Chain A
Amino acid sequence: MMRPFILPLLALLAGAAPAAAQTVPSFASSGPLGHIDAAAAQRGFAVYEASCAACHSLSALHYRDLEGLGLTSAQVAGIASGIKLADGTAATPDSPFKPATLPASAFGGALPPDLSSIAAQRPGGAAYIYAVLTGYTPAPAGITLMPSHYYNSAYPGGQIAMPPPLHDGAVTYADGTPSTTAQEAADVAEFLTWASDPTLTARHEIGLRALIFFGFLFVLALVLKRQAWSNQS
Protein backbone atom coordinates (compact mmCIF):
# COMPACT_ATOMS: atom_id res chain seq x y z
CA MET A 1 0.00 0.00 0.00
CA MET A 2 2.99 2.27 0.46
CA ARG A 3 4.30 3.86 -2.68
CA PRO A 4 7.93 4.79 -2.44
CA PHE A 5 8.61 8.13 -4.07
CA ILE A 6 11.72 9.72 -5.48
CA LEU A 7 14.09 7.98 -3.09
CA PRO A 8 15.16 4.62 -4.42
CA LEU A 9 16.20 3.99 -0.84
CA LEU A 10 12.63 3.23 0.05
CA ALA A 11 12.31 0.93 -2.89
CA LEU A 12 15.31 -0.94 -1.55
CA LEU A 13 13.82 -1.09 1.93
CA ALA A 14 10.51 -2.31 0.61
CA GLY A 15 12.32 -5.20 -1.00
CA ALA A 16 12.69 -4.16 -4.63
CA ALA A 17 16.29 -5.35 -4.40
CA PRO A 18 18.51 -4.51 -7.37
CA ALA A 19 19.66 -7.33 -9.55
CA ALA A 20 23.28 -6.93 -8.51
CA ALA A 21 25.07 -9.26 -10.86
CA GLN A 22 28.56 -7.76 -10.50
CA THR A 23 31.12 -8.99 -8.05
CA VAL A 24 31.76 -6.20 -5.59
CA PRO A 25 35.27 -5.91 -4.14
CA SER A 26 35.68 -5.98 -0.38
CA PHE A 27 36.09 -2.54 1.15
CA ALA A 28 38.50 -1.81 3.98
CA SER A 29 35.78 0.31 5.54
CA SER A 30 33.12 -2.38 5.69
CA GLY A 31 32.42 -4.64 8.65
CA PRO A 32 32.42 -3.86 12.36
CA LEU A 33 36.20 -3.43 12.52
CA GLY A 34 36.60 -1.70 9.17
CA HIS A 35 38.78 1.34 8.70
CA ILE A 36 39.10 3.94 5.97
CA ASP A 37 41.86 3.05 3.52
CA ALA A 38 43.46 6.49 3.27
CA ALA A 39 45.42 5.76 0.08
CA ALA A 40 42.30 4.50 -1.70
CA ALA A 41 40.27 7.44 -0.45
CA GLN A 42 42.92 9.90 -1.66
CA ARG A 43 42.76 8.31 -5.11
CA GLY A 44 39.00 8.45 -4.83
CA PHE A 45 39.21 12.19 -4.26
CA ALA A 46 41.13 12.48 -7.52
CA VAL A 47 38.36 10.51 -9.26
CA TYR A 48 35.70 12.71 -7.70
CA GLU A 49 37.46 15.87 -8.87
CA ALA A 50 37.97 14.55 -12.38
CA SER A 51 34.69 12.72 -13.00
CA CYS A 52 31.94 13.63 -10.55
CA ALA A 53 32.44 17.22 -9.37
CA ALA A 54 30.90 18.71 -12.51
CA CYS A 55 27.48 17.28 -11.59
CA HIS A 56 27.59 16.40 -7.87
CA SER A 57 28.28 18.80 -5.03
CA LEU A 58 29.94 17.70 -1.80
CA SER A 59 28.70 20.60 0.24
CA ALA A 60 29.56 19.31 3.70
CA LEU A 61 33.29 19.19 3.04
CA HIS A 62 35.94 21.88 3.15
CA TYR A 63 39.27 21.34 1.43
CA ARG A 64 40.99 21.40 4.84
CA ASP A 65 39.01 18.25 5.75
CA LEU A 66 41.31 16.35 3.37
CA GLU A 67 43.94 16.55 6.08
CA GLY A 68 41.83 13.85 7.72
CA LEU A 69 42.97 11.53 4.90
CA GLY A 70 46.60 12.03 5.85
CA LEU A 71 47.44 14.89 3.49
CA THR A 72 49.67 17.63 4.92
CA SER A 73 48.34 21.18 5.13
CA ALA A 74 50.82 22.18 2.40
CA GLN A 75 49.44 19.45 0.10
CA VAL A 76 45.89 20.57 0.82
CA ALA A 77 46.82 24.19 0.11
CA GLY A 78 48.34 23.02 -3.18
CA ILE A 79 45.19 21.10 -4.14
CA ALA A 80 42.94 24.01 -3.20
CA SER A 81 44.98 26.58 -5.11
CA GLY A 82 44.50 24.51 -8.26
CA ILE A 83 40.70 24.84 -8.04
CA LYS A 84 39.02 27.86 -9.58
CA LEU A 85 35.91 29.06 -7.76
CA ALA A 86 32.91 30.59 -9.53
CA ASP A 87 34.18 34.14 -8.93
CA GLY A 88 37.48 33.30 -10.63
CA THR A 89 39.60 33.23 -7.48
CA ALA A 90 41.49 30.15 -6.35
CA ALA A 91 40.08 28.09 -3.48
CA THR A 92 41.78 28.11 -0.09
CA PRO A 93 41.88 25.25 2.43
CA ASP A 94 39.00 26.94 4.24
CA SER A 95 36.71 27.02 1.17
CA PRO A 96 33.85 24.56 1.05
CA PHE A 97 34.03 22.12 -1.85
CA LYS A 98 33.12 23.86 -5.06
CA PRO A 99 29.43 23.47 -5.98
CA ALA A 100 28.52 21.51 -9.10
CA THR A 101 28.44 23.56 -12.28
CA LEU A 102 26.22 21.57 -14.67
CA PRO A 103 22.56 22.67 -14.64
CA ALA A 104 20.19 20.06 -13.23
CA SER A 105 17.91 20.56 -16.23
CA ALA A 106 20.52 18.67 -18.23
CA PHE A 107 19.26 15.33 -16.92
CA GLY A 108 15.60 15.33 -17.75
CA GLY A 109 14.73 16.79 -14.34
CA ALA A 110 16.66 14.19 -12.30
CA LEU A 111 18.77 16.06 -9.77
CA PRO A 112 22.29 14.79 -9.19
CA PRO A 113 22.19 14.36 -5.39
CA ASP A 114 24.73 15.98 -3.09
CA LEU A 115 27.23 13.24 -2.29
CA SER A 116 28.21 14.41 1.23
CA SER A 117 26.48 11.58 2.99
CA ILE A 118 25.34 9.39 0.11
CA ALA A 119 27.14 6.35 1.53
CA ALA A 120 25.13 6.62 4.75
CA GLN A 121 21.89 7.26 2.91
CA ARG A 122 21.97 4.24 0.63
CA PRO A 123 21.70 0.76 2.10
CA GLY A 124 24.88 -1.06 1.18
CA GLY A 125 26.99 2.11 1.28
CA ALA A 126 30.28 1.74 -0.58
CA ALA A 127 29.27 -1.57 -2.17
CA TYR A 128 26.10 -0.01 -3.57
CA ILE A 129 27.96 3.00 -4.97
CA TYR A 130 30.50 0.69 -6.59
CA ALA A 131 27.71 -1.43 -8.03
CA VAL A 132 25.94 1.59 -9.55
CA LEU A 133 29.14 3.00 -11.04
CA THR A 134 30.04 -0.31 -12.68
CA GLY A 135 26.51 -1.51 -13.33
CA TYR A 136 25.96 0.02 -16.77
CA THR A 137 25.04 -2.60 -19.35
CA PRO A 138 23.12 -2.55 -22.61
CA ALA A 139 19.39 -2.65 -21.86
CA PRO A 140 18.03 -6.22 -22.01
CA ALA A 141 15.64 -6.97 -24.84
CA GLY A 142 12.10 -5.87 -24.14
CA ILE A 143 13.00 -2.87 -21.97
CA THR A 144 12.34 0.55 -23.42
CA LEU A 145 14.52 3.21 -21.86
CA MET A 146 12.98 6.50 -20.80
CA PRO A 147 14.43 9.52 -22.62
CA SER A 148 17.95 10.44 -21.43
CA HIS A 149 18.16 7.39 -19.18
CA TYR A 150 20.69 4.58 -19.15
CA TYR A 151 20.28 0.99 -18.22
CA ASN A 152 21.99 0.15 -14.92
CA SER A 153 21.55 -3.26 -13.36
CA ALA A 154 22.37 -2.07 -9.83
CA TYR A 155 20.04 0.92 -9.74
CA PRO A 156 16.56 0.26 -8.35
CA GLY A 157 14.23 0.18 -11.33
CA GLY A 158 17.16 -0.33 -13.70
CA GLN A 159 17.01 3.09 -15.38
CA ILE A 160 19.26 5.91 -14.20
CA ALA A 161 19.56 9.47 -15.46
CA MET A 162 23.30 9.61 -14.74
CA PRO A 163 25.41 9.01 -17.85
CA PRO A 164 28.18 6.44 -17.23
CA PRO A 165 30.68 8.65 -15.39
CA LEU A 166 33.78 6.45 -15.43
CA HIS A 167 35.97 4.88 -18.05
CA ASP A 168 39.43 3.33 -18.04
CA GLY A 169 42.07 6.02 -17.59
CA ALA A 170 39.64 8.75 -16.56
CA VAL A 171 42.26 9.93 -14.08
CA THR A 172 45.99 9.47 -13.71
CA TYR A 173 46.74 8.36 -10.16
CA ALA A 174 49.64 10.07 -8.42
CA ASP A 175 50.67 6.77 -6.82
CA GLY A 176 50.88 4.96 -10.16
CA THR A 177 47.93 2.59 -9.56
CA PRO A 178 46.46 1.59 -12.96
CA SER A 179 43.19 3.47 -13.35
CA THR A 180 40.75 0.85 -14.56
CA THR A 181 37.03 1.60 -14.30
CA ALA A 182 36.68 -0.90 -11.47
CA GLN A 183 39.60 0.62 -9.59
CA GLU A 184 38.19 4.12 -10.00
CA ALA A 185 34.76 3.01 -8.83
CA ALA A 186 36.18 1.25 -5.76
CA ASP A 187 38.35 4.25 -4.86
CA VAL A 188 35.61 6.83 -5.24
CA ALA A 189 33.27 4.61 -3.20
CA GLU A 190 35.86 4.50 -0.40
CA PHE A 191 36.26 8.28 -0.65
CA LEU A 192 32.51 8.84 -0.40
CA THR A 193 32.34 6.47 2.56
CA TRP A 194 34.93 8.61 4.28
CA ALA A 195 33.06 11.79 3.33
CA SER A 196 29.85 10.61 4.96
CA ASP A 197 31.54 9.04 7.98
CA PRO A 198 34.93 10.72 8.47
CA THR A 199 35.31 9.32 11.96
CA LEU A 200 34.57 5.70 11.05
CA THR A 201 38.08 4.51 11.88
CA ALA A 202 38.18 6.35 15.21
CA ARG A 203 34.68 5.17 16.08
CA HIS A 204 35.58 1.52 15.60
CA GLU A 205 38.87 1.88 17.48
CA ILE A 206 37.36 3.73 20.42
CA GLY A 207 34.38 1.37 20.48
CA LEU A 208 36.60 -1.68 20.60
CA ARG A 209 38.82 -0.25 23.33
CA ALA A 210 35.81 0.73 25.40
CA LEU A 211 34.29 -2.73 24.98
CA ILE A 212 37.46 -4.41 26.20
CA PHE A 213 37.81 -1.98 29.11
CA PHE A 214 34.22 -2.32 30.30
CA GLY A 215 34.38 -6.08 29.80
CA PHE A 216 37.40 -6.21 32.09
CA LEU A 217 35.81 -3.89 34.64
CA PHE A 218 32.63 -5.96 34.51
CA VAL A 219 34.47 -9.12 35.47
CA LEU A 220 36.32 -7.26 38.21
CA ALA A 221 33.10 -5.84 39.60
CA LEU A 222 31.48 -9.26 39.50
CA VAL A 223 34.33 -10.78 41.55
CA LEU A 224 34.06 -7.90 44.00
CA LYS A 225 30.33 -8.39 44.31
CA ARG A 226 30.68 -12.13 44.87
CA GLN A 227 33.22 -11.48 47.60
CA ALA A 228 31.12 -8.82 49.26
CA TRP A 229 28.09 -11.11 49.39
CA SER A 230 30.02 -14.28 50.31
CA ASN A 231 29.50 -13.79 54.06
CA GLN A 232 25.76 -13.13 53.63
CA SER A 233 24.61 -16.29 51.92
Chain B
Amino acid sequence: MTDHPASSWALSRIPGLGCVCPCRSTRAKGGSYLGAVPFLIAVTALLVLASGVVLLATYNARSPVASLQILSHAVPQGWLVRAYHASGTTLLAGLVYLGLFHGLLTRAYRAPGEYAWMLGVKLLAVLLAASWFGYVLSGGAGGYWSYQRAMMAALQFHGAARGLALWVLSGGLPKLLVLHLLLALSAGLALWAWLAARAKVRATPPPGEAVPFYPYYAAQYLVALCALGFVGALLIGFLPHLGMPALNAVPGSGLSFAANPGLPWYLAPLGAAAGSFHGAWGGIGAVIALAVTLYAVPWLDLAPPEAPPSRLHQALTWLLGAVVVALGVDGTMPGCPLAPVLDPLLTLYVFLHFLVLLPLVTWGRAK
Protein backbone atom coordinates (compact mmCIF):
# COMPACT_ATOMS: atom_id res chain seq x y z
CA MET B 1 0.00 0.00 0.00
CA THR B 2 1.37 3.45 -0.87
CA ASP B 3 0.71 6.91 0.51
CA HIS B 4 -2.65 8.49 0.45
CA PRO B 5 -2.57 10.90 -2.54
CA ALA B 6 -3.47 13.85 -0.30
CA SER B 7 -0.57 13.21 2.05
CA SER B 8 1.98 12.78 -0.74
CA TRP B 9 0.65 15.97 -2.36
CA ALA B 10 1.26 17.90 0.87
CA LEU B 11 4.54 16.20 1.73
CA SER B 12 6.10 16.96 -1.63
CA ARG B 13 5.24 20.63 -1.25
CA ILE B 14 6.12 21.49 2.35
CA PRO B 15 9.83 21.30 3.01
CA GLY B 16 10.60 19.90 6.42
CA LEU B 17 7.26 18.20 6.91
CA GLY B 18 8.42 15.01 5.25
CA CYS B 19 11.26 14.59 7.68
CA VAL B 20 9.10 14.62 10.82
CA CYS B 21 6.03 12.90 9.44
CA PRO B 22 6.52 9.15 9.76
CA CYS B 23 3.82 8.37 7.21
CA ARG B 24 6.10 7.75 4.18
CA SER B 25 8.80 5.72 5.82
CA THR B 26 9.32 2.01 5.49
CA ARG B 27 10.16 0.31 8.75
CA ALA B 28 11.72 -2.91 9.83
CA LYS B 29 9.23 -5.52 10.96
CA GLY B 30 8.81 -6.23 14.63
CA GLY B 31 9.37 -2.73 16.02
CA SER B 32 8.15 -2.32 19.59
CA TYR B 33 5.49 0.07 20.82
CA LEU B 34 8.24 2.21 22.32
CA GLY B 35 9.06 3.27 18.78
CA ALA B 36 5.91 5.40 18.92
CA VAL B 37 7.19 7.45 21.85
CA PRO B 38 8.60 10.32 19.74
CA PHE B 39 5.26 10.61 17.98
CA LEU B 40 3.44 10.67 21.33
CA ILE B 41 5.86 13.35 22.49
CA ALA B 42 4.94 15.49 19.50
CA VAL B 43 1.20 15.07 20.14
CA THR B 44 1.54 15.90 23.83
CA ALA B 45 3.76 18.88 23.06
CA LEU B 46 1.06 20.25 20.75
CA LEU B 47 -1.50 19.93 23.54
CA VAL B 48 0.76 21.66 26.06
CA LEU B 49 1.60 24.48 23.64
CA ALA B 50 -2.02 25.00 22.60
CA SER B 51 -3.31 25.06 26.18
CA GLY B 52 -0.46 27.39 27.15
CA VAL B 53 -1.46 29.85 24.46
CA VAL B 54 -5.07 29.77 25.68
CA LEU B 55 -3.92 30.25 29.29
CA LEU B 56 -2.28 33.50 28.24
CA ALA B 57 -5.74 34.99 27.66
CA THR B 58 -6.51 34.84 31.40
CA TYR B 59 -3.19 34.42 33.20
CA ASN B 60 -1.77 37.59 34.69
CA ALA B 61 1.80 37.44 35.94
CA ARG B 62 1.21 40.40 38.24
CA SER B 63 -1.54 38.58 40.15
CA PRO B 64 -0.94 34.93 39.33
CA VAL B 65 -3.07 33.34 42.03
CA ALA B 66 -6.06 35.62 41.50
CA SER B 67 -5.97 35.22 37.74
CA LEU B 68 -5.75 31.43 38.01
CA GLN B 69 -8.70 31.51 40.41
CA ILE B 70 -10.67 33.40 37.76
CA LEU B 71 -9.54 30.81 35.27
CA SER B 72 -10.92 27.95 37.33
CA HIS B 73 -14.06 29.70 38.57
CA ALA B 74 -15.27 31.90 35.74
CA VAL B 75 -13.69 30.95 32.41
CA PRO B 76 -15.70 28.28 30.60
CA GLN B 77 -13.64 25.05 30.73
CA GLY B 78 -10.80 27.11 32.20
CA TRP B 79 -9.97 24.42 34.76
CA LEU B 80 -9.70 21.90 31.95
CA VAL B 81 -7.31 24.11 29.98
CA ARG B 82 -5.13 24.42 33.06
CA ALA B 83 -5.31 20.66 33.59
CA TYR B 84 -4.22 20.08 29.99
CA HIS B 85 -1.21 22.26 30.62
CA ALA B 86 -0.26 20.74 33.98
CA SER B 87 -1.03 17.09 33.32
CA GLY B 88 0.23 17.50 29.75
CA THR B 89 3.58 18.61 31.14
CA THR B 90 3.68 15.55 33.35
CA LEU B 91 2.99 13.33 30.34
CA LEU B 92 5.49 15.18 28.18
CA ALA B 93 8.31 14.97 30.70
CA GLY B 94 7.51 11.32 31.37
CA LEU B 95 7.62 10.50 27.67
CA VAL B 96 10.89 12.36 27.08
CA TYR B 97 12.51 10.56 30.02
CA LEU B 98 11.15 7.31 28.62
CA GLY B 99 12.37 8.07 25.10
CA LEU B 100 15.89 8.84 26.32
CA PHE B 101 15.95 5.75 28.52
CA HIS B 102 14.87 3.66 25.55
CA GLY B 103 17.69 5.27 23.56
CA LEU B 104 20.20 4.24 26.24
CA LEU B 105 18.83 0.70 26.36
CA THR B 106 18.93 0.19 22.60
CA ARG B 107 22.10 2.23 22.01
CA ALA B 108 20.15 4.50 19.69
CA TYR B 109 22.90 7.09 20.22
CA ARG B 110 25.51 5.08 18.31
CA ALA B 111 26.78 6.41 14.98
CA PRO B 112 25.20 7.85 12.92
CA GLY B 113 22.64 8.70 15.62
CA GLU B 114 24.90 10.85 17.82
CA TYR B 115 23.47 14.14 16.73
CA ALA B 116 19.88 12.94 17.09
CA TRP B 117 20.75 11.76 20.61
CA MET B 118 22.24 15.12 21.52
CA LEU B 119 19.14 16.88 20.28
CA GLY B 120 17.09 14.57 22.49
CA VAL B 121 19.19 15.56 25.52
CA LYS B 122 18.76 19.18 24.55
CA LEU B 123 14.99 18.68 24.35
CA LEU B 124 14.97 17.31 27.89
CA ALA B 125 17.10 20.20 29.17
CA VAL B 126 14.99 22.93 27.57
CA LEU B 127 11.78 21.22 28.61
CA LEU B 128 12.87 20.99 32.25
CA ALA B 129 14.01 24.61 32.24
CA ALA B 130 10.67 25.73 30.78
CA SER B 131 8.75 23.67 33.31
CA TRP B 132 10.64 25.20 36.23
CA PHE B 133 9.55 28.64 35.08
CA GLY B 134 6.01 27.31 34.71
CA TYR B 135 6.14 25.97 38.27
CA VAL B 136 7.16 29.41 39.53
CA LEU B 137 4.49 31.12 37.42
CA SER B 138 1.75 29.09 39.13
CA GLY B 139 2.14 31.44 42.09
CA GLY B 140 1.95 28.57 44.58
CA ALA B 141 4.16 28.52 47.65
CA GLY B 142 6.31 25.72 46.23
CA GLY B 143 7.20 27.72 43.15
CA TYR B 144 7.53 30.91 45.15
CA TRP B 145 10.14 29.49 47.48
CA SER B 146 11.95 27.66 44.73
CA TYR B 147 12.30 31.02 43.02
CA GLN B 148 13.39 32.76 46.23
CA ARG B 149 16.07 30.13 46.75
CA ALA B 150 17.33 30.58 43.21
CA MET B 151 17.50 34.33 43.79
CA MET B 152 19.43 33.87 47.03
CA ALA B 153 21.82 31.53 45.25
CA ALA B 154 22.32 34.07 42.47
CA LEU B 155 23.29 36.69 45.03
CA GLN B 156 26.16 34.50 46.24
CA PHE B 157 27.85 34.85 42.86
CA HIS B 158 30.23 37.58 41.87
CA GLY B 159 31.04 39.38 38.69
CA ALA B 160 29.75 38.12 35.39
CA ALA B 161 28.09 35.02 36.87
CA ARG B 162 26.06 37.21 39.17
CA GLY B 163 25.13 39.50 36.32
CA LEU B 164 23.99 36.57 34.22
CA ALA B 165 22.03 34.94 37.05
CA LEU B 166 20.27 38.19 37.86
CA TRP B 167 19.57 38.79 34.19
CA VAL B 168 17.70 35.50 34.18
CA LEU B 169 15.95 35.76 37.53
CA SER B 170 15.23 39.40 38.27
CA GLY B 171 12.18 41.26 37.09
CA GLY B 172 9.52 39.17 38.78
CA LEU B 173 6.93 36.94 37.20
CA PRO B 174 6.17 39.05 34.10
CA LYS B 175 9.77 38.66 33.02
CA LEU B 176 9.82 34.97 33.95
CA LEU B 177 6.73 34.53 31.78
CA VAL B 178 8.72 35.83 28.81
CA LEU B 179 11.50 33.33 29.53
CA HIS B 180 8.91 30.56 29.96
CA LEU B 181 7.52 31.36 26.51
CA LEU B 182 10.97 31.55 24.92
CA LEU B 183 11.97 28.23 26.45
CA ALA B 184 8.70 26.63 25.36
CA LEU B 185 9.39 27.85 21.85
CA SER B 186 12.92 26.46 21.93
CA ALA B 187 11.57 23.16 23.25
CA GLY B 188 9.24 23.05 20.25
CA LEU B 189 12.16 23.71 17.90
CA ALA B 190 14.36 21.16 19.64
CA LEU B 191 11.56 18.63 19.30
CA TRP B 192 11.25 19.33 15.59
CA ALA B 193 15.00 19.04 15.08
CA TRP B 194 15.12 15.83 17.12
CA LEU B 195 12.35 14.20 15.09
CA ALA B 196 13.96 15.28 11.81
CA ALA B 197 17.40 14.06 12.85
CA ARG B 198 16.00 10.69 13.93
CA ALA B 199 14.18 10.26 10.64
CA LYS B 200 17.34 11.12 8.73
CA VAL B 201 19.53 8.50 10.41
CA ARG B 202 16.93 5.75 10.58
CA ALA B 203 18.49 2.70 8.95
CA THR B 204 16.74 1.46 5.81
CA PRO B 205 15.77 -2.15 6.50
CA PRO B 206 16.62 -4.83 3.91
CA PRO B 207 13.73 -5.29 1.43
CA GLY B 208 12.47 -8.58 2.87
CA GLU B 209 12.36 -7.13 6.37
CA ALA B 210 10.62 -3.85 5.48
CA VAL B 211 6.96 -2.92 5.69
CA PRO B 212 5.39 0.43 4.79
CA PHE B 213 4.34 2.68 7.64
CA TYR B 214 0.73 2.56 6.56
CA PRO B 215 -1.15 0.48 7.59
CA TYR B 216 1.23 -1.56 9.74
CA TYR B 217 2.81 1.03 11.97
CA ALA B 218 -0.12 3.43 11.63
CA ALA B 219 -2.25 0.89 13.48
CA GLN B 220 0.46 0.45 16.09
CA TYR B 221 0.73 4.21 16.61
CA LEU B 222 -3.04 4.40 17.02
CA VAL B 223 -2.88 1.84 19.82
CA ALA B 224 -0.15 3.88 21.50
CA LEU B 225 -2.17 7.07 21.06
CA CYS B 226 -5.20 5.49 22.73
CA ALA B 227 -3.04 4.39 25.65
CA LEU B 228 -1.78 7.98 25.92
CA GLY B 229 -5.36 9.27 25.92
CA PHE B 230 -6.26 6.78 28.62
CA VAL B 231 -3.39 7.81 30.87
CA GLY B 232 -4.13 11.48 30.16
CA ALA B 233 -7.77 11.04 31.20
CA LEU B 234 -6.64 9.27 34.36
CA LEU B 235 -4.27 12.11 35.25
CA ILE B 236 -6.65 14.96 34.47
CA GLY B 237 -9.76 13.39 35.98
CA PHE B 238 -8.40 11.71 39.06
CA LEU B 239 -4.79 12.70 39.75
CA PRO B 240 -4.65 16.38 38.79
CA HIS B 241 -1.85 17.17 41.24
CA LEU B 242 0.26 14.08 40.74
CA GLY B 243 3.89 14.73 41.53
CA MET B 244 3.28 18.33 42.63
CA PRO B 245 4.40 19.31 46.12
CA ALA B 246 1.26 19.78 48.25
CA LEU B 247 2.74 23.09 49.36
CA ASN B 248 2.04 24.51 45.92
CA ALA B 249 -1.70 24.64 46.68
CA VAL B 250 -0.95 27.43 49.17
CA PRO B 251 -0.60 30.86 47.55
CA GLY B 252 3.06 31.85 47.65
CA SER B 253 4.00 34.68 49.96
CA GLY B 254 6.48 35.46 52.67
CA LEU B 255 4.06 33.87 55.14
CA SER B 256 4.07 30.44 53.54
CA PHE B 257 7.64 29.81 54.51
CA ALA B 258 9.13 26.37 54.14
CA ALA B 259 12.80 25.52 54.38
CA ASN B 260 12.57 23.07 51.52
CA PRO B 261 9.73 23.73 49.09
CA GLY B 262 10.08 20.56 47.03
CA LEU B 263 9.86 20.31 43.24
CA PRO B 264 7.48 18.70 40.75
CA TRP B 265 8.46 15.11 40.10
CA TYR B 266 10.04 15.77 36.70
CA LEU B 267 12.44 18.31 38.19
CA ALA B 268 13.05 16.32 41.36
CA PRO B 269 15.95 14.12 40.18
CA LEU B 270 17.80 17.16 38.92
CA GLY B 271 16.99 19.11 42.09
CA ALA B 272 18.23 16.28 44.27
CA ALA B 273 21.41 15.97 42.22
CA ALA B 274 22.06 19.70 42.36
CA GLY B 275 21.33 19.78 46.08
CA SER B 276 23.96 17.14 46.82
CA PHE B 277 26.80 19.52 46.06
CA HIS B 278 27.84 22.34 48.23
CA GLY B 279 26.70 25.87 47.46
CA ALA B 280 25.25 27.47 44.40
CA TRP B 281 28.30 26.72 42.24
CA GLY B 282 28.18 23.08 43.29
CA GLY B 283 24.52 22.77 42.27
CA ILE B 284 24.96 24.50 38.94
CA GLY B 285 28.18 22.63 38.29
CA ALA B 286 26.43 19.31 38.90
CA VAL B 287 23.64 20.17 36.45
CA ILE B 288 26.09 21.29 33.77
CA ALA B 289 28.27 18.23 34.31
CA LEU B 290 25.23 15.97 33.96
CA ALA B 291 24.22 17.61 30.71
CA VAL B 292 27.74 17.38 29.29
CA THR B 293 27.99 13.74 30.32
CA LEU B 294 24.72 12.91 28.61
CA TYR B 295 25.85 14.71 25.47
CA ALA B 296 29.05 12.68 25.51
CA VAL B 297 27.38 9.27 25.83
CA PRO B 298 27.91 8.35 22.14
CA TRP B 299 31.68 8.64 22.71
CA LEU B 300 31.72 7.06 26.17
CA ASP B 301 30.28 3.89 24.66
CA LEU B 302 33.31 2.20 23.08
CA ALA B 303 31.58 -0.73 21.40
CA PRO B 304 31.35 -0.74 17.59
CA PRO B 305 28.10 0.84 16.30
CA GLU B 306 26.53 -2.34 14.99
CA ALA B 307 27.08 -4.48 18.10
CA PRO B 308 23.89 -5.13 20.08
CA PRO B 309 24.19 -4.08 23.75
CA SER B 310 25.48 -6.83 26.02
CA ARG B 311 23.46 -8.34 28.86
CA LEU B 312 25.60 -6.62 31.44
CA HIS B 313 25.28 -3.29 29.65
CA GLN B 314 21.49 -3.59 29.66
CA ALA B 315 21.38 -4.60 33.31
CA LEU B 316 23.50 -1.58 34.22
CA THR B 317 21.21 0.70 32.23
CA TRP B 318 18.21 -0.62 34.14
CA LEU B 319 20.05 -0.02 37.37
CA LEU B 320 20.76 3.54 36.25
CA GLY B 321 17.04 4.02 35.59
CA ALA B 322 16.25 2.80 39.10
CA VAL B 323 18.83 5.18 40.58
CA VAL B 324 17.32 8.16 38.76
CA VAL B 325 13.84 7.18 39.97
CA ALA B 326 15.17 6.91 43.52
CA LEU B 327 16.70 10.38 43.20
CA GLY B 328 13.35 11.68 42.02
CA VAL B 329 11.39 10.05 44.82
CA ASP B 330 13.85 11.53 47.27
CA GLY B 331 13.51 14.94 45.65
CA THR B 332 9.70 14.98 45.89
CA MET B 333 9.77 14.31 49.64
CA PRO B 334 11.02 17.47 51.27
CA GLY B 335 12.51 16.72 54.62
CA CYS B 336 13.19 13.06 54.00
CA PRO B 337 15.85 12.35 56.67
CA LEU B 338 17.80 10.03 54.37
CA ALA B 339 18.17 12.62 51.61
CA PRO B 340 21.44 14.27 52.72
CA VAL B 341 23.19 10.90 52.72
CA LEU B 342 21.43 9.23 49.84
CA ASP B 343 21.35 12.05 47.29
CA PRO B 344 25.12 12.51 46.91
CA LEU B 345 25.63 8.74 46.69
CA LEU B 346 22.98 8.30 44.02
CA THR B 347 24.27 11.31 42.09
CA LEU B 348 27.81 9.99 42.21
CA TYR B 349 26.54 6.67 40.94
CA VAL B 350 24.96 8.37 37.91
CA PHE B 351 28.35 9.90 37.04
CA LEU B 352 30.07 6.60 37.79
CA HIS B 353 27.75 4.83 35.39
CA PHE B 354 28.46 7.06 32.44
CA LEU B 355 32.09 7.92 33.05
CA VAL B 356 33.43 4.57 34.30
CA LEU B 357 31.01 1.66 33.97
CA LEU B 358 29.79 2.43 30.47
CA PRO B 359 33.29 2.66 28.92
CA LEU B 360 34.32 -0.44 30.86
CA VAL B 361 31.49 -2.74 29.76
CA THR B 362 31.73 -1.59 26.17
CA TRP B 363 35.52 -1.58 25.98
CA GLY B 364 35.77 -5.34 26.09
CA ARG B 365 33.53 -5.65 23.06
CA ALA B 366 35.55 -3.24 21.01
CA LYS B 367 38.40 -5.72 20.72
Whether A and B touch (Cβ < 8 Å) is answered with: yes
List the interface of chain A (C-beta within 8 A of B).
1-7, 9-10, 13-14, 32, 59-62, 65, 68, 111, 114, 116-117, 120-121, 123, 196, 198-199, 202-204, 206-208, 210-211, 213-215, 217-218, 220-222, 224-225, 227-229, 232
B192 to chain A minimum Cβ distance, whole angstroms, is 26
The CA-CA distance from A13 to B334 in the complex, in Å, is: 9
Contacts of A117 in B (CB 8 A): 249-251
Contacts of A111 in B (CB 8 A): 255
Report if B292 contacts A (CB, 8 A): no
Contacts of A232 in B (CB 8 A): 29, 211, 216
User: How many B residues touch the partner, as a band?
Assistant: 35 or more
CB–CB A199/B79 < 8 A:
yes
Q: Give 11 new A-B contacts, CB below 8 A, not counting A120-B241, A199-B80.
A: A1-B337, A117-B250, A121-B250, A203-B240, A210-B233, A210-B237, A214-B233, A218-B223, A221-B223, A225-B223, A232-B29
CB–CB A214/B226 < 8 A:
yes
The stretch of B114-122, B257-265, B299-307 in contact with A is B257-265
Instruction: Give which listed residue, B230, B237, B335, contacts A218 with CB less than 8 A.
Output: B230
Instruction: Give which listed residue, A7, A210, A221, contacts B256 with CB less than 8 A.
Output: A7
A148 to chain B minimum Cβ distance, whole angstroms, is 20
A215 to chain B minimum Cβ distance, whole angstroms, is 6
CB–CB B219/A217 < 8 A:
no
A-B contact pairs, 28 of them (CB 8 A): A2-B259, A2-B335, A2-B337, A3-B259, A4-B258, A5-B257, A5-B258, A7-B247, A7-B257, A9-B247, A10-B247, A10-B258, A10-B334, A13-B334, A14-B335, A59-B66, A62-B74, A65-B73, A111-B255, A117-B249, A202-B79, A203-B83, A206-B237, A210-B229, A218-B227, A222-B223, A224-B222, A225-B219
The CA-CA distance from A8 to B237 in the complex, in Å, is: 28
The CA-CA distance from A114 to B255 in the complex, in Å, is: 12
CB–CB B250/A217 < 8 A:
no
